[in-house]
Structure 1
Amino acid sequence: MSHSKRNIIIKFIFQFLFLLVFASIVSACSHPQDAKPSPSEDNDKQNVPPSQPKDTWKLPIKIPEGEFYKVGSWYSDHQLLYITNLEQSSSVYLYNLLTGSSQLLYKSEVPIVTLQISPSKENILIQSSPSTYEGQVTILSPEGTEIFKQSIPSYELAFEWNPFNESEILISSFNEDWTFQMLLLDIGQRKTTELTLPQPFIKWLGNEEVAYLKWNEDSPTLFAPLIKLDLSNEAEEEIFTDVLQFATYKDILMTVTVQDDEQLQASYTFYNKEKKELYSFSIPHLSMFSGWLVPYNDLNEKKGEFITLKPVKSAEADAYREGFELVSYDIENGSSNVIMKNLKNEPILLSPSGEAALFGNRFDKLINFKTKELMELVAK
């Protein structure tokens, strides 16, 4: 294997581990952050969105059958999709937080790995694993009816749902050596098409436009140009230079960069569809062996509210001991609000209204933004 090929594979491995299994890395380098989370000392309720009172949520979830595996996603502001395992089979249940009832939505005879719901909540993607080197992709209707199913030879799979055309999903199929194949799943036509794309971590910018970071294969660096690619004619355009990480939403693009010479702060900048800057803020960053740790975050585009886990100071990740603050930023008026303190850096997913969030490596916790409390979804 050539030196350049080895370098780019190393870069892919780092990105892939960050996106898909970073929870295990974080637990290894942030184990001292086990202190109980505490509400922010900032009690300004005007910046905290309203939420359902705690006593209206029926918790913990009573599992009908099998063993709880993880919550897959929000289905609505008061409904969750969660997965259970029983021997080699898995089931997907729809749980109502207000009534405490679980409804069986789908049963798989092979283990389910993950679950994603489309941006408009019109379809559900199930990834199951019949064997180590095979991934099975199933698309369900909101009622749990199978619309499409296909097996893909792979060691790992990653998905990007097209928010501009929800019939399309980009699939990154990885082999065991982290080489990859890119596929475009068209649900309406019930077929997959192989694409020639330079990177496996692609995000949608428009109906036929995608974006990716163009890493230098010969000289791996911390930053890379952000490239826009038109799938219809394969035309490329550089949008920004020196980007560490980025995220796309239907009408917003976010980049993570560095602006200070000492590289002590990570800058988060938000742009509209015309690439006009809407808002920017900076937070301390944690360095890792291959780059920077970008804490978990999420955006409620409808409210224009971005939340992120924020380290309280810049440091090396494996030596960091101070925990993370959960902070919300209002993109429109530029205000910020500390919701909770002393949290671990774990995945977080806002509810559709942005009034609550799923939290944890298995999304087995629920954060109430009004009461600033962290609740367990399943009894231990």
Structure 2
Amino acid sequence: MKKRYILYAFLLIVVLLAGCEQSSTKKDPQKQDQSTTHQTIQNVKPISVQNSSFYTFADWYDNRHVFYIENHNGISTIFLYDLYNGSKKEFFKTPQKVITLQANPSHTRFVLYTSKSDEEASLLFLDKKGNEIHSVTLHSFDIQYSWNPTKPSELIVTGFGEDWSFNTYLINIHKHTKQKIDIPQPFAQWLNGEEVVYLDWKKDQQSLQAPLCKMNMKTGKTTTLEKGIGTFSMFPETLLAVKAMEDSEKEKNGTYQFYSSKWHKMKQFSAPVLSNFSGWLLPYSQFDSRQKVFYTYVPYQKGDASEYKGGFDMVSFSLKDGKMKRLFKGVDNIPFKLSPDGTMALYGYQLEEIMDLTGKEKRILANFSS
């Protein structure tokens, strides 16, 4: 059980995230975004950064602007960078180390996950102008959170102790409230505006699969949605559940089944799956909710994730027509982050590259200097 938490905590650290706004001497970023219609990856201007202070690109503000984080002399600074004219502006600064930054589904609020020590973690909430509008501090070793898809100012937050005990809270930024709630398992995600979903792992029982359950946040009623799920991921109005046989040598593939937020089956596909000591490992993935296209990496064969050296294909899968397309062949399972319009993606362990998903091109975004 503890090993499972360690895996997910590790995946949390690489979750990659967002913030917003352009220099007062420039045009409004939201207005500038309208001028990206004829821009291509060839028009992107790479930025020169100091290797000693650059931490990571974080996320997209819009189709034109991205955020990156620098750490210097104990200060974390978030910058907004214009991909097409190369200008940047300081957006937010904090004496706490910023681990991640993430936008809510409507991109009207942003959360910074910061940490002062191993015993304390904080969430700082910003508006689109970079103003801090709320903050929450938990005596926790690690934090996991999930935005409500229909209520922009609400999210659930789980804080973990060093022994991986956990407490879950409902946070409302607008009302400045923090309510402790009783969810049987950590890593819950919103299914819709009123219900959350989670895998119901049995304590002290080693298994690679568990029932996928939902809980109504108002009534507390729980319902089993599907048994035998190895892992799942929640996107706006769409849930992905991966099923695979854990004890059959004949079973080569996992089934990627997509459901609507009302639990109606949509499309599905099969692909080889990798596992580790605590369960099935879902490669990095993103979902374009506008076009209903899922992006992920597919290994060439099943096996142990820690020993697999076979490479991956980066693919797209359309929930409209059920067709899969190969975008890049023989690549590594590396983090990436879709632009709002789904045409480009930041790519790399520091999101230091940019890729054109329509033209199947990649370019360096950050030039490092010592």
The alignment's TM-score, normalised by the length of structure 1, stands at 0.86
User: Residue 183 and residue 22 in structure 1: after superposition, are their counterparts in 2 closer, same or farther (change >3 A)?
Assistant: closer
Q: 1:64: Cα distance to partner? A: 9.1
Q: 1:216: Cα distance to partner? A: 1.3
Q: Are the counterparts in 2 of residues 254 and 271 from structure 1 also a CA contact under 8 Å?
A: yes
Is 1:10 aligned to 2:3, yes or no? yes
The equivalent residue for 1:280 is 268
Q: 1:113: Cα distance to partner? A: 1.4
User: Residue 132 and residue 339 in structure 1: after superposition, are their counterparts in 2 closer, same or farther (change >3 A)?
Assistant: same
Mapped to 2, the partners of 1:107 and 1:331 lie a distance apart of 40
Is 1:332 aligned to 2:325, yes or no? no
The equivalent residue for 2:214 is 228
Residue identity in the other structure for 1:369: L
Q: 1:154: Cα distance to partner? A: 1.2
2:44 to 27, 40, 57: 57
User: Residue 14 and residue 65 in structure 1: after superposition, are their counterparts in 2 closer, same or farther (change >3 A)?
Assistant: closer
Greater RCO (Cα-Cα under 8 Å, separation 6 or more): 1
Residue identity in the other structure for 1:253: L
Q: Are the counterparts in 2 of residues 92 and 107 from structure 1 also a CA contact under 8 Å?
A: yes
Q: Are the counterparts in 2 of residues 65 and 86 from structure 1 also a CA contact under 8 Å?
A: no
1:346 to 334, 337, 341: 334
1:366 to 354, 362, 367: 354
Q: Are the counterparts in 1 of residues 13 and 99 from structure 2 also a CA contact under 8 Å?
A: no
Identical counterparts, % of pairs:
30
Divergent runs of 4+, >6 A: none
Q: 1:131: Cα distance to partner? A: 2.2
User: Residue 272 and residue 234 in structure 1: after superposition, are their counterparts in 2 closer, same or farther (change >3 A)?
Assistant: same
Is 1:85 aligned to 2:78, yes or no? no
Mapped to 2, the partners of 1:85 and 1:12 lie a distance apart of 28
Is 1:76 aligned to 2:69, yes or no? no
Aligned length: 346
What per-residue deviation string (whole Å, max 9, x for no partner) do you get for residues 205-264 of structure 1? Answer: 121210000011142211111101001110001111111111222321211112695221
| 1:1-380 pair list within 5 angstroms | 8-20=1-13, 52-59=39-46, 61-63=47-49, 67-258=53-244, 262-380=250-368
Residue identity in the other structure for 1:246: F
Q: 1:162: Cα distance to partner? A: 0.9
Residue identity in the other structure for 1:166: P
SS at match of 1:366: strand
Q: Are the counterparts in 1 of residues 15 and 100 from structure 2 also a CA contact under 8 Å?
A: no
Unaligned runs of 5+ in 1: 1-7, 24-49
Mapped to 2, the partners of 1:269 and 1:145 lie a distance apart of 40
Residue identity in the other structure for 1:57: V
User: Residue 333 and residue 259 in structure 1: after superposition, are their counterparts in 2 closer, same or farther (change >3 A)?
Assistant: farther
The alignment's TM-score, normalised by the length of structure 2, stands at 0.88
Residue identity in the other structure for 2:316: S
SS at match of 2:184: coil
Mapped to 2, the partners of 1:371 and 1:277 lie a distance apart of 31
Unaligned runs of 5+ in 2: 17-36
The equivalent residue for 1:40 is none
Residue identity in the other structure for 1:58: K
Residue identity in the other structure for 1:270: F
**Root mean square deviation, CA, Å:** 2.2
